[in-house]
């Protein structure tokens, strides 16, 4: 349910109340759901100290605004918010929620929804060196606190969370800390590295109707029994650990992007997901604690919601306006169009790409044809002798579901399994249970060239869709097909080229604001080694009794903390920069060429990627520290953006209660001061779009002159005015306009791409991607 349906109930509410009042008693107790209630600041309780009696105050608010005849059952406050939002979360019936939505004291009543997780070598791949560049210049970000909103942390026996002797106490501005509960002794587990650990579960509990620990599934504490939060937090800022590995895979030094930064963990995700009310409570706490960066590796389960209906977007807005950069994962719903989540312009949204490391496991057929797959299987390998090979669809289950495979046929054989229905690691397990000696997992057709590595408990490899089709053809054409699987361990090299965009990485165009490019950048997110929980196996299967200190997993959840850590380094090296300036520096200095000299590829197509997949490009930390120019933005810019979207006064007030859209009439989404240009032509008639930008000179040459170089997208004439920008000591900012003129005729494809580059002729090139979306009527048939 969105805001409008709730507001519409106001019209009927009086009649409902009168009708129900004529009854002696309600025949049944109405069901309650969780809602987030945004309160107009003038009507919010005034509290003298942080967190004092807020639940009591909002309970009184509910008694004042919900009639007694509607209080069966009584409303119940879960959280109060004063930093990430103004208001509270509560259990309400639909009629109670509608009543509040009618009140002038309330800006919005939003149903509490669930978000989902967006489930080493990378410092060297990113060229982060202890002797030169950003890492020593920032002192490893020792004065920066990264808040990680995730599944918690498992610090016990994990050296990634150890405080090395030279690490000083956390900065005095940080006001957070670690809770102590039966399953998590904060005073013993926290230190100068792990400086905060808290948990938020009231929204999850209310949705489930019972305590999270009622069945002893999960302790009510910051303890991570999943592994995801331990992995992301150690990726962002884990201490250096030599000789780390997942068994013998990826062996080397494991270290976070910002090894000196402090970690504060806010657990919001439980077995059933992550409730919006818990997420907003974590944002509220992180802002109050004084973190510098928030790392958010989760997002909407479906398409990106309206910004006012998105707890993460609301919390992130309040964080950014207080100078806290929020790095967020783009999502794992690729390669489809407009699948990216966390698409508000105040997020730093991160896609996922590969590094120059693989874990190949070859399928060798009886014909000696070889198809390279990928695997993290760490047990006894298969021998060189080939064994019988069958297709799951011929032996009971094409997707290899446990209990459906014919054990009498599968015994002693390798089974080829189709994707879907069950998890990859479950397919190998199903083959093992049926007596098979190994499994070959086909990837989905949409993933193209990509297959995903998994820490299998049975000899298993995953191959690309096209390879699986060839293996199927071999099986069907042979009377006695055979195969074996050869595991090659860890291979580092220049082939295939890297980086490449992961097929799963969510894409643009931006579903909610097409004139804002998303994702912003890409970073390593495929087969990333980082710390893991001791409370869960690497496969997360109940039958897997293995426990490891490190695990290798993939997702934009992994790329996001890479950028969170890099942003921490930049925050320390350039403390005067705003969150928007940090994002701008990362975007305009990103690179778009792989190690073979070609445009970064897209594994889903086998062709060059586009800015809708890679954003402005792959992050380059050492260049970002000296970008030359930045595109800055602040609260006023973001409010103008919201007004330009056509949001109502109440919807904008959810973000900034003092905002007044009447003073921003005529504002354009395309004029938001973003480091990229996205143009949407809506008619096949010749049209002109003009967008304006302001750049700030942050280079050492206060009198620098920059000249523009334009690479026009096909079908568009791009004009920049002025074509050169002259800066002075007294004039650090300059404005320019870009005019996009739609050409006649048709174009090949719905989208065309280009770039605008400002150069000072010396060391700085400031690059902005350009995307153009065309009306269907002007797209030529291919």
Percent of the chain with pLDDT over 70: 93
Query: Can you list the alpha helix ranges (DSSP code H) found in 106-225?
Result: 122-125, 134-137, 186-189, 202-208
| pLDDT score of 603 | 98
* 418: three-class secondary structure by DSSP: coil
| More confident: 673 or 71 | 673
The stretch 734-753 carries a mean pLDDT of: 91
Active-site residue, from 59, 65, 112, 150: 150
Phi/psi at 203 (5° precision): -65, -40
| pLDDT score of 124 | 73
| More confident: 684 or 381 | 381
Asked if residues 337 and 612 have their Cβ atoms less than 8 Å apart, the reply is yes
Nearest to 512 by CA among 636, 637, 340: 340
| More confident: 51 or 381 | 381
Cα dihedral across residues 615, 517, 571, 196: positive or negative: negative
Phi/psi at 149 (5° precision): -95, 110
| Whether pLDDT at 8 is above 90 | no
> Is 43 known to be catalytic?
no
> What digits encode the pLDDT tens for the residues 568-626?
999 999 999 999 999 999 999 999 999 999 999 999 999 999 999 999 999 999 999 99
> What digits encode the pLDDT tens for the residues 110-139?
999 999 887 645 677 787 887 888 888 898
| Whether pLDDT at 563 is above 70 | yes
| pLDDT score of 25 | 40
For tokens 């489809």, the residue is 336
Going from the C-alpha of 462 to that of each of 417, 422, 438, 501, the distances in angstroms are 9, 14, 11, 18
* 56: three-class secondary structure by DSSP: helix
Residue 371: band (very low, low, confident or very high) from pLDDT cuts 50, 70, 90: very high
Asked if residues 249 and 489 have their Cβ atoms less than 8 Å apart, the reply is yes
Active-site residue, from 83, 118, 201, 228: 228
| pLDDT score of 47 | 63
Find how far residue 556's CA is from the centre of its chain: 5
> What digits encode the pLDDT tens for the residues 144-167?
999 999 999 999 999 999 998 889
Nearest to 523 by CA among 234, 301, 298, 328: 328
Nearest to 709 by CA among 726, 725, 727: 725
Find how far residue 669's CA is from the centre of its chain: 23
> What digits encode the pLDDT tens for the residues 9-19?
454 443 343 34
Rg (CA), the chain: 27
> What digits encode the pLDDT tens for the residues 89-117?
999 999 999 999 999 999 999 999 999 88
The pTM (predicted TM-score) of the whole model is 0.94
| Adjacent-strand bridge partners of 178 | 197
| pLDDT score of 21 | 37
> Is 557 known to be catalytic?
yes
> What digits encode the pLDDT tens for the residues 394-412?
999 999 999 999 999 999 9
> Is 228 known to be catalytic?
yes
CA distance 329 to 349: 6
Residue 209: band (very low, low, confident or very high) from pLDDT cuts 50, 70, 90: confident
CA distance 89 to 151: 21
Nearest-10 Cα torsion for 620, 564, 125, 239: 140
Q: How is residue 701 written in tokens?
A: 């040459």
Averaged confidence pLDDT in the chain: 92
| Whether pLDDT at 248 is above 60 | yes
In sequence order, what are the residues at sequence separation of 6 or more whose Cβ sits closer than 8 angstroms to the Cβ of residue 572? 138, 139, 140, 141, 142, 143, 144, 258, 261
Going from the C-alpha of 466 to that of each of 441, 448, 459, 463, 604, the distances in angstroms are 12, 8, 21, 8, 12
| More confident: 777 or 752 | 752
Active-site residue, from 557, 578, 604, 678: 557
| pLDDT score of 213 | 64
Query: Can you list the alpha helix ranges (DSSP code H) found in 268-423?
Result: 276-289, 311-320, 407-410
| pLDDT score of 166 | 84
> What digits encode the pLDDT tens for the residues 22-40?
343 434 568 999 999 999 9
| pLDDT score of 140 | 87
Asked if residues 415 and 405 have their Cβ atoms less than 8 Å apart, the reply is yes
């Amino acid at each position: 349910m969105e805001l409008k349906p709730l507001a519409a109930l106001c019209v009927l509410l009086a009649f409902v109340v009168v009708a129900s009042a004529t009854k002696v008693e309600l025949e049944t107790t109405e069901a309650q759901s969780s809602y987030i209630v945004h309160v107009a600041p003038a009507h919010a309780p005034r509290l003298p100290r942080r967190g004092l009696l807020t639940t009591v105050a909002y309970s009184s608010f509910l008694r004042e605004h919900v009639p007694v005849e509607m209080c069966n059952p009584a409303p119940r406050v879960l959280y109060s918010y004063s930093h990430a939002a103004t208001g509270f979360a509560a259990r309400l019936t639909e009629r109670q929620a509608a009543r509040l939505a009618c009140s002038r004291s309330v800006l919005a009543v939003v149903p509490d929804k669930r978000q989902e997780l967006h489930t080493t070598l990378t410092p060297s791949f990113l060229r982060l060196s202890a002797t030169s560049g950003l890492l020593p210049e920032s002192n490893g970000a020792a004065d920066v606190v990264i808040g990680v909103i995730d599944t918690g942390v498992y610090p016990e026996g994990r050296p990634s969370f150890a405080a090395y002797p030279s690490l000083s106490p956390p900065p005095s501005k940080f006001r957070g800390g670690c809770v102590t509960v039966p399953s998590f002794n904060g005073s013993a587990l926290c230190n100068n590295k792990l400086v905060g650990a808290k948990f938020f579960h009231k929204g999850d509990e209310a949705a489930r109707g019972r305590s999270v620990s009622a069945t002893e599934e999960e302790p009510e504490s910051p303890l991570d029994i999943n592994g995801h939060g331990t992995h992301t937090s150690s990726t962002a800022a884990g201490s250096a650990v030599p000789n780390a590995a997942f068994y013998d895979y990826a062996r080397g030094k494991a270290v976070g992007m910002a090894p000196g930064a402090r970690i504060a963990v806010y657990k919001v995700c439980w077995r059933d997901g992550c409730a919006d009310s818990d997420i907003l409570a974590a944002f509220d706490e992180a802002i109050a604690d004084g973190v510098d960066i928030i790392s958010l590796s989760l997002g909407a389960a479906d398409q990106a919601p309206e910004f006012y209906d998105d707890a993460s977007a609301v919390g992130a807005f309040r964080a950014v306006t207080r100078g806290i950069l929020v790095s967020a994962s783009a999502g794992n719903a690729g390669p489809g169009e407009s699948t990216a989540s966390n698409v508000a312009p105040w997020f730093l949204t991160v896609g996922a790409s590969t590094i120059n490391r693989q874990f190949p496991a070859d399928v060798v057929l009886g014909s000696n044809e070889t198809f390279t797959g990928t695997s993290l299987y760490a047990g006894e390998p298969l021998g060189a002798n080939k064994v019988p090979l069958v297709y799951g669809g011929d032996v009971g289950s094409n997707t290899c579901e446990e209990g459906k495979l014919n054990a009498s046929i599968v015994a002693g054989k390798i089974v080829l399994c189709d994707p879907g229905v069950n998890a990859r690691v479950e397919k190998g397990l199903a083959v093992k249970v049926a007596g098979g000696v190994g499994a070959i997992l086909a990837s989905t057709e949409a993933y193209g060239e990509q297959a995903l590595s998994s820490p299998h408990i049975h000899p298993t490899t995953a191959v690309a869709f096209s390879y699986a089709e060839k293996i199927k053809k071999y099986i069907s054409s042979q009377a006695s097909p055979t195969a074996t699987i050869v595991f090659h361990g860890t291979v580092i090299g220049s082939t295939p080229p890297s980086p490449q965009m992961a097929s799963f990485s969510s894409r643009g165009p931006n579903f909610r604001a097409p004139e804002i490019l998303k994702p912003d950048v890409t970073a390593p997110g495929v087969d990333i080694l980082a710390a893991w929980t001791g409370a869960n196996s690497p496969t997360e299967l109940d039958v897997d009794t293995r426990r490891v200190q490190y695990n290798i997993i993939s997702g934009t959840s992994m790329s996001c903390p890479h950028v969170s850590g890099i942003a921490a380094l930049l925050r320390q090296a350039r403390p005067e920069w705003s969150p928007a300036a940090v994002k701008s520096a990362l975007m305009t200095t990103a690179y778009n060429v792989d190690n073979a000299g070609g445009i970064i590829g897209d594994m889903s197509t086998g062709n060059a990627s586009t800015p809708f997949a890679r954003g402005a490009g792959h992050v380059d930390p050492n260049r970002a520290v000296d970008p030359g120019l930045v595109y800055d933005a602040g609260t006023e810019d973001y409010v103008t953006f919201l007004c330009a979207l056509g949001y109502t006064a109440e919807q904008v007030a959810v973000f900034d209660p003092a905002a007044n859209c009447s003073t921003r009439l005529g504002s354009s989404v395309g004029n938001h001061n973003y480091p990229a240009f996205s143009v949407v032509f809506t008619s096949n008639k010749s049209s002109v779009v003009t967008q304006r930008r302001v750049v700030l000179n942050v280079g050492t040459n206060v009198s620098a002159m920059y000249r523009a170089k334009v690479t026009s997208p096909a079908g568009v004439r791009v004009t920049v005015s002025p074509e050169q920008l002259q800066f002075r000591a007294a004039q650090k900012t300059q404005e320019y306009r870009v005019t996009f003129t739609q050409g006649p005729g048709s174009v090949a494809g719905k989208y065309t791409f280009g770039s605008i580059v400002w150069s000072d002729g010396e060391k700085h090139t400031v690059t902005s991607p350009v995307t153009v979306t065309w009306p269907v009527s002007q797209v030529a048939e291919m």
